[in-house]
Chain A
Amino acid sequence: MSKSKQEWLETTWGKAVSRFAPRRPRFESSSGAEVDPLYGPEDLAEWNYHEKLGYPGEYPFTRGVQPTMYRGRLWTMRQYAGFADAEESNRRYKFLLAQGQTGLSVAFDLPTQIGYDSDSPEAEGEVGKVGVAISSLEDMETLTNGIPMEKITTSMTINATAPILLALYVAAAKKQGADLAKVGGTIQNDILKEYIARGTYIFPPRPSLRLITDVFAWCKDELPEWNTISISGYHMREAGCTAAQELAFTFADAIEYVDAALNAGLHFDEFGGRLAFFWACHSNFLEEVAKFRASRRIWAKIATERYGSKDPRAQMVRFHTQTGGATLTAQQPLNNIIRTTLQAMSAVLGGTQSLHTNSYDEALALPTEKSVEVALRTQQVIGYESGVADVIDPLAGSYYVEALTDRVEAEAWAYLSRIEDLGGALLGIEQGFQQREIQESAFRLQRMTETKERIVVGVNDYVTEDEVEPDLMRVDTALGKRRQDQLAALRARRDNDAVKRSLAKIRAAASTSENMMPLLVEAVEAYTTVGEICGVLREEWGEYQEVMTI
């Protein structure tokens, strides 16, 4: 005789919980939705395999974007790194490549990200702190010295100044003699999430969007292997939002970029295949797997139904994943190795194309070489020893995982439609909608930790007194002065007339719709600096003012 889930809940389960109360009155997902104790066929009653999943490499790509997934090759192991100056960072990259890392990921310092040279007053105290300081082509040449730019792909976390850093990378590749048709990599180039959560904006939205579409258009012809944008949920998740909000806010941003590109006269399938995505991976293991799978299904629908895409490449969510920085604890830092391992495992089970695993000491400082090595080894152990990469999308068909994938997708669509009602991502930002939603979720999580509804091992339970902090990485405090000297020497040595001419051209183009990229390449080749270019554009375009939401 067959019994329904409801009958089981009322009889066998009901009897058991009346004697032994569950650990918590309510179990929930990151968005606060209640999770049942058990999932079964009834939870997938309307579910259709071909419609919901299909096959890897085929629409709607739920099971993965490549037909062979990790049987062909493992994901790209790409550790985000960069600190001090170009020379130090170049050394770290060569170390990582020697340890078996397969792609580079460059972290820039805040002055570089916000368009200030290392010797500007705004940069004081910040030079080389959270990433590498790059002000000119000289720095970029040092950064990429001895790294074959045709063979190694590089991801650059750079947004407001992305077109300039891309121009620098291209100029350095040309000097190496690389064929630009073969130079691959990614720039983040996602300004909307800077306004929402990450904070390294410079210009107001309109000129910022214009720079982004200039990059799309220019790369299509000049740099065909380049991912022109990495539309990122990561930072919004780190700022506190839920898994479903992460998807929705990111896709809403994606829609804004696509619409801007269409308005600039591009066709979706021309640039759609060069759009990349960037997700966080937090600690709810199965919900995160479900999120990754749902993300592919959502974008496939947006690409085909909203934009009429005919090219499967333009319908795929190809994504990078980074484990959750905000889930790391300063207390008992070695526990972070375990957290990161679990998160990395969900990213792999979710079918990521590349992965950064955080180092255990990152709630305390920038990582040491030792901690970075452990983080990279974590990926290698998962890839080569655990067996999870041998079969494609191995959790498919789990009642719970499929029900959860459907739910995350439904919650994300609901948010997408709310943002649509506000007039799209940008108008939402201007009204503070996404920012407030993120703050609410962050505050809710904080409260749950303080009331112990949520246990964070080593933080609000299983606490150790008098912990000894591990050895931490320190950036040399003399760096700021050294950078000032380097830049002064460069400014004295270069052809300053050529610099002035290049800046005049950029100023003139700022108020037109001319593509900025060729002008930026020309400028950086004359050793015009990031700060000089941004200085001119700041004068022409003004600066974005934060929308206060608290």
Chain B
Amino acid sequence: MADERPIRVLIAKPGLDGHDRGAKVVARALRDAGMEVIYTGIRQTPQMIAEAALQEDAQVVGLSILSGAHLELFPRVVEELKTRGVDDVLLFAGGIIPKADIPAIEAMGFKGVFGPGTDTNAIIAFVRDNAPQRV
């Protein structure tokens, strides 16, 4: 089987907020769905997240933020990933993110933005359908 290798996902908390309930629930749900999940912990700088994505060879990077700093921090994470040549990852985001900000986040390269109340099965399906293949 070609797709036997589990998908590698990095779940990260950029910025200073400590609200990690959502990040941990998503990490756990993806892991229970058979993926390899690395959770960074809270208070990660964009550099730390990009470095972890590189070191862990992540195919998918999910960012969770509830402080309202997404429009400032997300572009910096994308920038740091590019600097390290990590350009074939699936990006998605979650947290308290107003709908009006979603187009801007999608324009940065994020394929999905999941707010409060999202069913984790929807996130699992999204990751399975969109994760880039690795050989």
Contact = CB atoms under 8 A, between A and B. Distances in A.
Whether chains A and B associate is yes
Interface of A: 110-111, 113-114, 122, 124-126, 129-130, 194, 197-200, 238-240, 326, 328-331, 363-366, 439, 442-443, 446, 449-450, 456, 459-460, 469, 472, 475, 546, 548, 550
B18 A363 contact: no
B72 to A, nearest CB: 3
Nearest to B39: A550
Interface stretch (B23-31, B55-63, B83-91): B23-31
A250 to B, nearest CB: 17
A364 B41 contact: no
A360 B107 CA distance: 30
Nearest to A113: B16
Contacts of B119: 449-450, 460
The interface size bin for chain B is 20 to 34
Interface string B11-53: 0000111111100110111000000000101110100000000
Given A329-B117, A365-B98, A238 B21 contact: yes
A239 B17 contact: no
A110 B120 CA distance: 28
B103 interface: no
A548 B41 contact: yes
27 contacts: A110-B15, A110-B16, A110-B17, A110-B67, A113-B16, A122-B45, A124-B72, A125-B71, A125-B72, A125-B73, A126-B15, A126-B67, A130-B68, A199-B18, A239-B19, A239-B21, A330-B115, A331-B117, A364-B98, A442-B25, A443-B25, A446-B120, A456-B117, A459-B117, A472-B100, A546-B42, A548-B39
Contacts of B29: 443, 446
Contact of A129 (B25, B69, B117, B121): B69
Nearest to B73: A125
Contact of B25 (A113, A329, A446, A475): A446
Contacts of B115: 330, 363
Which of the listed residues B69, B72, B100, B115 has the most CB atoms from chain A within 10 Å of its own CB?
A: B69
A550 B99 contact: no
Contact of A199 (B19, B69, B116, B120): B19
A364 B73 CA distance: 18
Interface of B: 15-21, 24-25, 27-29, 39, 41-43, 45, 67-69, 71-73, 96, 98-100, 115-117, 119-121
A199 B40 CA distance: 14
Contact of B16 (A122, A329, A365): A122
B98 A126 contact: no
B72 A330 contact: no
Contacts of B120: 446, 450
B87 to A, nearest CB: 23
Nearest to A238: B21
B72 A550 contact: no
A198 B6 CA distance: 32
A113 B15 CA distance: 13
A364 B68 CA distance: 10
B42 A199 contact: yes
B75 to A, nearest CB: 10
A124 B71 CA distance: 11
A366 B19 CA distance: 15
A236 to B, nearest CB: 10
Contacts of B39: 548, 550
Contact of A126 (B16, B28, B42, B96): B16
B21 A326 contact: yes
B38 to A, nearest CB: 10
